[in-house]
Amino acid sequence: VMQQQFERLNLVMGEVRDRIDHQEETIRNLRGGRDKRQREPRVENENENEGAGKDEEDLRSEIRSSRHRR
Instruction: Quote the pLDDT of residue 51.
Output: 57
Q: Coil, helix or strand for 42? A: coil
Instruction: Quote the pLDDT of residue 44.
Output: 66
Q: Dihedral of the CA atoms 62, 67, 68, 70 (nearest 10)? A: 130
User: How many beta carbons lie within 10 A of that of residue 23, not counting itself?
Assistant: 10
Q: CA triplet 42, 24, 10: central angle to 5 degrees?
A: 120
Instruction: Quote the pLDDT of residue 46.
Output: 60
Instruction: Quote the pLDDT of residue 5.
Output: 95
pLDDT digits (tens, 9 = 90+) for 8-40: 999 999 999 999 999 999 999 999 855 555 566
pTM of the model: 0.42
Reported as half-sphere exposure (CB side, CA atoms, 13 A), residue 18 has a value of 6
Cα(55)–Cα(58) distance, integer angstroms:
5
Instruction: Quote the pLDDT of residue 55.
Output: 77
